[in-house]
């Protein structure tokens, strides 16, 4: 359901005026300008990095492959140019005799190192646990209505589905509040982690880059990062820009649910200032399956973003305001055409990042602030015989949160390079509706952390760190829970730590390992629920005696890259004490007629592996395979299986690239899952075939086509949360996406 945008537009205008008032620009000398192109085709290479050796700093080429280097004095400069998929090159430039340069790169298959900022507060490309990123181009090729669908099939990442809108990534069998989703490295402030009917509050078209960390990451991010971290980056928060103006228009359509979506964004940048704005719209009907239409799977949304950035000689700061209004159905009352369940949510997110360059022991300080306002209503809609429509608020959340961190990054000292810092968060949640699950509550955490890396020489690097955190939850009365006798507040001190080793015997090999002690505190719903949850289709009963989940996770990975082959092997073992389990009792709650689910805790163990291989067959053909597997069990005598563990999955790809177009095919084989928890239904295996195609006109216009489930296979996914897995997954679907960069 769309709403008036006038109020949002006014907020954006006032916000931008407030941010830019009082700031002034300073004149600069003539810049050194250049363009990076591919030698064979002559096409510009966007995003190439240009490092100036003498100044120990660099710039990034824009979407047209162009760059500018400012504040140069007369002399000879050494430029080192790199881009993923191209051979690096070193160029000598005499300035100011050379004011414009054109640099050509040769395309090769050796991948440049990718810095995963989510895993390293000091910005190094040394990894201690498996991680990967998806670029803007890769995200366009994977265009989908939700984050879970985009990442599904990546190494170690599956998808929890409950219709399209609330689909969310599952990492190594861990779901919900055990996988932390960030927006520009800050907590999002939504409630997607608390229940499987809650959606991630960010439009997929607004995402420019995704970073995925597999394995425990509580050292840097605290609770909810026990299973991994997914970091979503957008252009709304200007950072590290070059002067100029650009923008893009993106559309996305799909046949399986008559999806239509679009995004418009723009950015204007001077040397000192940057301004950004974006607007996204999305509308889709119910999903079509091989057995017919699945009711309650529609969605529509409106979102916006606006930001401003400033940088001086030693400081860079940026502020962004984003918002989203989202309405979607839930496939819960599929057997009753006169009843629907709809979730309506609003989210507003204000974020600021400031970095200050320093001299002496500390080289940089980073300050992050984030404020969120989130409103979530679960509506039961009933159509009466006389044509009247009744709506009732069954469950609602009003959540406000504010969080912040300050990180001090120091220069190498006695071989150590690292950072320490402090972070905190305050959250207040009010629970409304006829079926309010819990009392109202306010909570906070305060934490201090230390992160250090040591270069041991001979290709070895060592990582270590620790985090000390205090958390408190305080309960408050509401309309349903008007008597808190027997309810207890919580105050806890928690420690997490990690140690890792990285070994690079040559440029083509990398071996890494990490042992981490991570934690997760039980959620408000897990502790105090005692009510029907119509969106989840269950009567939920919490457990105040739940203890913190504490895991000892071990990761090991090996990466080999050369001109023709890219291989990554990863294995993991995760022992979790006090693992919170969401289990059916077999009883029915008579007033609501919903099955009763309770929260209890068990000791658990999860282990498995991921294999990813990409091979170059010749100049135009590439092929790849992704294989992952996880086993999750209670640590009892029978090693009883945990629920909702994905089965063994194998993905095969074959792709043909020539000049500006490509064709590809995908085969995904998912084994049956017969190793199931008590009262959990097994699922059969299935094979899906997909096709991909695309065409680029220069670097400005890109058309991507993707066909999913080409043979219209009728299958059930083991991670679907639709009741008893009665309904199949989506049928044949053609996705089309067009992006115009200008």
Q: Which pLDDT band, with edges at 50, 70 and 90, does 165 fall under?
A: confident
Mean pLDDT of 319-334: 88
8-state DSSP, 107: B
- Overall average pLDDT of the 3-11 stretch: 40
Concatenate the DSSP letters of all residues of 117-162 into one string: TTT-TT-----SS-EEEE-HHHHHHT--SSHHHHHTTSTTEEEEBS
131-741 maps to CATH 2.40.170.20:
yes
Please report the pLDDT score of residue 388 as a whole number.
87
- Which one is predicted more confidently, 318 or 6? 318
What percentage of residues in the chain have a pLDDT greater than 70?
Answer: 93
Q: What share of the chain is helix, strand, coil (3-state, %, to 5)?
A: 5, 60, 35
Highest mean pLDDT among 60-74, 230-244, 553-567: 553-567
Task: Please answer whether residues 475 and 487 qualify as being in contact, where contact means their C-beta atoms are separated by less than 8 angstroms.
Answer: yes
In percent, how much of the chain has pLDDT > 90?
Answer: 60
> 180 or 24: whose pLDDT is higher?
180
**What average pLDDT does range 658-666 have in this prediction?**
90
pLDDT per position as a tens digit, 256-274:
999 999 999 999 999 999 9
**pLDDT surpasses 90 at 724:** no
What's the chain's Rg over C-alpha atoms? 26
Q: Which residue has the higher pLDDT, 701 or 57?
A: 701
pLDDT band at 370 (very low <50, low <70, confident <90, very high): very high
Bigger pLDDT: 491 vs 19: 491
Distance CA 574, CA 609 (A): 12
Mean pLDDT of 630-641: 96
Find all residues with CB under 8 Å of 715, minimum gap 6, and list them.
670, 684, 686, 688, 728, 729
* Cβ-based burial of 470 (10 A; exposed 0-12, middle 13-18, buried ≥19): middle
Q: How far apart are CA 397 and CA 394, in angstroms?
A: 11
Q: Are 461 and 442 in contact (CB under 8 A)?
A: no
Averaged pLDDT for residues 283-289: 95
Instruction: Read off the tokens for 602.
Output: 């068990």
Please enumerate in sequence order all residues whose Cβ is within 8 A of that of 475, keeping only pairs 6 or more positions apart, or say none. 439, 440, 441, 484, 487, 489, 528
pLDDT, average across residues 392-416: 93
Task: Determine contact, residues 279/8, Cβ cutoff 8 Å.
Answer: no
Report how far residue 446's alpha carbon sits from residue 545's, in angstroms, rounded to the nearest whole number: 23
Virtual torsion, Cα 430, 434, 438, 442, nearest 10 deg: 10
Q: What is the pLDDT of residue 152?
A: 94
Q: What is the pLDDT of residue 725?
A: 54
Tell me: the pLDDT tens digits for 294-303? 988 999 999 9
DSSP string, 446-463: EEEEEEEEEEEETTEEEE
At residue 349, the pLDDT reads 96
131-741 matches 31-105 in CATH topology: no
Provide the token pair at 591: 């007033």
Could you give the CA distance from residue 324 to residue 302 in angstroms, rounded to a whole number? 6
> Which residues, in sequence order, are CB contacts of 339 under 8 Å at separation 6+?
333, 380, 381, 382, 383
Residues in the chain: 742
The CA angle 623-628-629, to the nearest 5 degrees, is 155
pLDDT of residue 116: 85
Per-residue confidence at 84, pLDDT binned at 50, 70, 90?
low
pLDDT at residue 231 greater than cutoff 70: yes
Asked if residue 319 lies in contact with residue 354, where contact means CB atoms within 8 angstroms, the answer is no
β-strands 440-457, 244-254: how paired?
Answer: unpaired
Distance in angstroms (rounded) separating the CA atoms of residues 530 and 522: 15
d(CA 690, CA 695): 18
CA angle at residue 241 from 240 to 243, to 5 degrees?
A: 155
pLDDT score recorded for residue 18: 40
Between CA 18 and CA 323 the distance in angstroms is: 18
Lowest mean pLDDT among 43-52, 297-306, 606-615: 43-52
pLDDT at 537 over 70: yes
Instruction: Phi first, then psi: give them for residue 722, nearest 5 degrees.
Output: -65, 135
Helices (H), ranges, 172-298: 218-221
For residue 7, what pLDDT is reported?
A: 43
Q: Average of pLDDT values for 660-689?
A: 93
Residue 14 has a pLDDT of 40
The confidence score (pLDDT) of residue 559 equals 95
pLDDT over 70 (residue 4):
no
Torsion of CA 383, 538, 147, 579, to 10 degrees: 170
Please report, to the nearest 10 degrees, the dihedral formed by the alpha carbons of residues 354, 355, 356, 361 taken in order. Answer: 140
Distances (CA, A) of 46 to 52, 82, 298, 519, 662: 18, 11, 36, 40, 19
The pLDDT of residue 26 is above 60 = no
On the 0-12 / 13-18 / 19+ scale of CB atoms within 10 A, 154 is: buried
Asked if pLDDT for residue 402 goes beyond 80, the answer is yes
The pLDDT confidence band at residue 631, using thresholds 50, 70 and 90, is very high
Whether the pLDDT of residue 10 is over 50: the answer is no
* pLDDT value of position 624: 97
Question: Is residue 566 a contact partner of residue 508, using CB atoms and an 8 Å limit?
Answer: no
* Domain extent listing, the chain: 31-105, 131-741
In the prediction, which pLDDT does 651 show?
97
CATH 2.60.40.1120 assigned to 31-105: yes
Residues 146-161: tens digit of each pLDDT? 899 999 999 999 998 8
Structural tokens at position 272: 């000192």
Q: Which two tokens stand for residue 621?
A: 């053909």
């Amino acid at each position: 359901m769309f709403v008036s945008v006038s109020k949002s537009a006014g907020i954006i205008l006032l916000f931008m005026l407030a941010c830019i008032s009082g700031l002034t620009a300073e004149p600069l000398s003539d810049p050194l300008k250049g363009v990076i192109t591919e030698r064979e085709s002559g096409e510009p290479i966007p995003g190439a990095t240009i490092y100036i050796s003498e100044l120990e700093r660099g710039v990034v080429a824009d979407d047209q492959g162009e760059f500018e280097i400012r504040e140069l004095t007369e002399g000879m400069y050494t430029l080192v140019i790199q881009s993923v998929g191209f051979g690096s090159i070193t160029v000598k430039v005499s300035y100011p005799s050379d004011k414009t340069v054109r640099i050509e790169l040769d395309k090769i298959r050796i991948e440049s190192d990718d810095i995963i900022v989510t895993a390293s507060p000091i910005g190094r490309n040394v990894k201690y646990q498996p991680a990967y990123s998806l670029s803007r181009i890769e995200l366009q090729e994977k265009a989908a209505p939700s984050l879970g669908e985009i990442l599904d099939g990546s190494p170690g990442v599956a998808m929890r589905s409950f219709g399209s809108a609330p689909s969310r990534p599952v990492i190594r069998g861990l779901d919900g509040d055990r996988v932390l989703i960030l927006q520009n490295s800050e907590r999002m402030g939504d409630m997607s982690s608390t229940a499987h009917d809650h959606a991630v509050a960010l439009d997929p078209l607004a995402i420019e880059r995704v970073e995925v960390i597999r394995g425990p990451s509580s050292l840097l991010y605290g609770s909810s990062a026990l299973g991994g971290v997914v970091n979503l980056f957008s252009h709304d928060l200007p950072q590290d820009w070059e002067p100029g103006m650009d923008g893009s228009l993106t559309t996305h359509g799909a046949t399986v649910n008559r999806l239509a979506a679009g995004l418009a964004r723009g950015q204007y940048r001077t040397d000192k200032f940057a301004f950004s704005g974006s607007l996204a719209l999305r509308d889709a009907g119910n999903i079509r399956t091989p057995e017919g239409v699945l009711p309650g799977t529609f969605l529509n949304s409106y979102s916006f973003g606006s930001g401003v950035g400033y940088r001086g000689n030693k400081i860079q700061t940026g502020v962004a305001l984003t918002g989203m209004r989202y309405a979607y159905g839930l496939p819960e009352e599929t057997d009753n055409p006169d009843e629907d369940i709809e979730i309506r949510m609003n989210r507003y997110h204000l974020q600021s990042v400031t970095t200050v360059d320093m001299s002496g022991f500390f080289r940089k300080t980073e300050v992050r602030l984030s404020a969120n306002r989130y409103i979530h209503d679960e509506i039961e809609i009933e159509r009466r015989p006389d044509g009247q429509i009744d709506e009732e608020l069954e469950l609602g959340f009003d959540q406000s949160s504010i969080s912040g961190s300050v990180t001090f990054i120091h220069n190498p000292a006695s071989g150590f390079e690292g950072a320490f810092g402090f972070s905190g968060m305050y959250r207040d949640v009010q629970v409304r509706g006829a079926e309010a699950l819990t009392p109202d509550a306010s909570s906070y955490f305060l934490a201090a952390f230390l992160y250090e890396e040591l270069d041991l020489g001979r290709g070895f690097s060592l990582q270590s760190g620790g985090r000390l955190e205090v958390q408190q939850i305080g309960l408050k009365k509401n309309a349903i829970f008007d008597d808190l006798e027997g309810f207890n507040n919580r105050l806890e001190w928690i420690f997490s730590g990690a140690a890792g080793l990285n070994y690079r015997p040559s440029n083509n090999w990398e071996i890494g390992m990490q042992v981490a002690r991570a934690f997760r505190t039980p959620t408000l719903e897990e502790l105090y629920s005692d009510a029907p949850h119509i969106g989840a289709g269950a009567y939920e009963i919490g457990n105040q005696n739940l203890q913190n989940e504490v895991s000892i996770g071990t990761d090991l990975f090996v990466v080999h890259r050369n001109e023709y082959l890219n291989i990554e092997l990863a294995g993991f073992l995760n022992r979790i004490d006090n693992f919170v389990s969401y289990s059916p009792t077999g009883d029915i709650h008579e007033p609501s007629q919903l099955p009763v689910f309770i929260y209890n805790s068990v000791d658990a163990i999860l282990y498995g592996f991921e294999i990813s291989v990409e091979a170059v067959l010749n100049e135009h053909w590439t092929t790849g395979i992704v294989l992952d597997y996880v086993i999750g069990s209670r640590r009892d005598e029978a090693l009883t299986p945990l629920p909702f563990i994905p089965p063994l999955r194998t993905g095969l790809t074959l792709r043909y690239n020539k000049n500006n177009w490509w064709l590809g095919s995908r085969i995904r084989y998912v084994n049956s899952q017969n190793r199931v928890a008590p009262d959990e239904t097994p699922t059969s295996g299935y094979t899906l075939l997909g096709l991909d195609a695309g065409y680029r006109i220069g670097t400005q216009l890109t058309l991507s086509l993707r066909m999913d489930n080409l043979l219209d296979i009728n299958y059930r996914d083991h991670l679907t949360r639709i009741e008893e897995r009665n309904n199949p997954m989506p049928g044949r679907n053609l996705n089309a996406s067009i992006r115009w960069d200008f």
